[in-house]
């Protein structure tokens, strides 16, 4: 007797979708709290958290509420927290001095969180000048008003040392300057911080989805960042950036944004043997929240679906503003 496979009605894939328990058992992709990283903003000089209009549910923290958020992240089992500092406007200048000042808000926040949670959470920090400059760009400008790549690298080296001295576990150079990973690695090693790891923003695209983030960090940006962030039509270029970052010493690599670049994420995940992260950015968050607020989509299902898609595409770590909420839901078995 011959046995035939793959023909109807003998083969019915729906048998594996019959109940929640069945679907859970055969699920190919799962989310876990340890894979989630919470981006958090801390603002200098405020006594109460400042809600972000374009990101409902997200705030600019005070130092005290940031410590509480970090403790909640530990309790929820998150993998890490990525810190962004928002200095007072009057302290910003052309070279982003608050970013290297030991008493700058980001360095203070790193010390606060490290004192609160110790090594129970991977403390990450944004290594970029855009929050700290009066022009809002990610680097130092030359006399013509253009980004000076190599002068910017010198500032990144100083930032790396300042953040490591404050107690950070991982730095995230996000400015997309050529050579930034090598310069940061050499700066860290030269200062005796060999154990501080680098999460390279390897494929960071010049995206329209960053809008709400500009409110979150009080950006002073005029113009755009198209001359240094990647061009959205290009895919192979991301693999070139990947090769360079790995050669320069990146410990982990990241794709940003997440949803519009799942193809890039998949290609990078297939190409490397280091941890791969993706950043579900402010505009992705805001779209879901706005649509849900209008009753157009199921908020909770949409959140889990988007995160699962990022995980399915190859990210082992996901930076998301829903990190603590989702981890708590996962812990409840939802």
Tokens 């982990």, residue? 252
Q: What is the DSSP letter of 95?
A: T
Q: Are 326 and 320 in contact (CB under 8 A)?
A: yes
Q: Is 92 a catalytic residue?
A: no
Distance separating alpha carbons of residues 311 and 225, to the nearest angstrom:
28
The rounded radius of gyration (Å) of the Cα atoms in the chain is 21
Question: What is the token pair recorded at 299?
Answer: 């908020």
Q: What is the DSSP letter of 34?
A: G
Query: Comparing C-alpha atoms, which of 219, 194, 204 is closest to residue 43?
Result: 219
Tokens 């000089």, residue? 45
Q: Is 256 a catalytic residue?
A: yes
Distance separating alpha carbons of residues 192 and 140, to the nearest angstrom:
26
Give the three-class secondary structure for 331: helix
Catalytic residue among 68, 92, 222, 256: 256
Distance separating alpha carbons of residues 202 and 77, to the nearest angstrom:
26
The four Cα atoms 231, 236, 240, 243 give a dihedral, to 10 degrees, of 130
How far does CA 158 lie from the centroid of its chain? 21
Pair type for strands 59-61 and 50-51: antiparallel
Dihedral of CA 20/21/25/29: which sign?
positive
Catalytic residue among 68, 91, 92, 204: 204
Residue numbers annotated as active site: 204, 256
């Amino acid at each position: 007797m011959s046995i035939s496979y793959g023909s109807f009605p003998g083969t019915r894939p729906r048998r594996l979708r019959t109940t929640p328990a069945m679907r859970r058992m055969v699920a190919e992709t799962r989310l876990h709290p340890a894979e989630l990283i919470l981006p958090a903003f801390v603002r200098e000089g405020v006594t109460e958290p400042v809600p972000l209009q374009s990101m409902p549910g997200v705030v600019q923290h005070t130092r005290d509420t940031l410590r509480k958020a970090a403790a909640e992240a530990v309790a929820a089992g998150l993998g890490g927290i990525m810190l962004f500092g928002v200095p007072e406007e009057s302290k910003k200048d052309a070279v982003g001095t608050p970013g290297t000042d030991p008493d700058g808000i980001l360095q203070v926040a790193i010390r606060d969180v490290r004192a609160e949670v110790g090594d129970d959470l991977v403390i990450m920090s944004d290594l970029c000048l855009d929050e700290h400059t009066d022009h809002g760009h990610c680097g130092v400008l030359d006399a013509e008003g253009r980004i000076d790549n190599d002068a910017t690298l010198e500032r990144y080296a100083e930032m790396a040392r300042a953040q490591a001295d404050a107690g950070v576990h991982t730095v995230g150079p996000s400015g997309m300057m050529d050579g930034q990973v090598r310069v940061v690695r050499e700066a860290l090693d030269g200062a005796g911080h060999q154990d501080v790891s680098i999460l390279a923003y390897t494929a960071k695209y010049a995206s329209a989805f960053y809008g709400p983030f500009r409110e979150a960090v009080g950006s002073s940006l005029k113009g755009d960042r198209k001359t240094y962030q990647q061009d959205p039509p290009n895919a192979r270029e991301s693999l070139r950036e990947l090769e360079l970052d790995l050669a320069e010493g990146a410990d982990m690599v990241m794709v940003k944004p997440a949803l519009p670049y799942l193809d890039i994420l998949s290609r990078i995940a297939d190409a490397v043997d280091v941890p791969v992260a993706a950043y579900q950015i402010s505009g992705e968050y805001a779209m879901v929240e706005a649509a849900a607020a209008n009753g157009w989509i199921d908020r909770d299902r949409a959140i889990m679906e988007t995160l699962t898609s990022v995980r399915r595409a190859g990210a082992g770590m996901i930076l998301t503003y829903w990190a603590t909420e989702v981890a708590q839901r996962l812990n409840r078995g939802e």
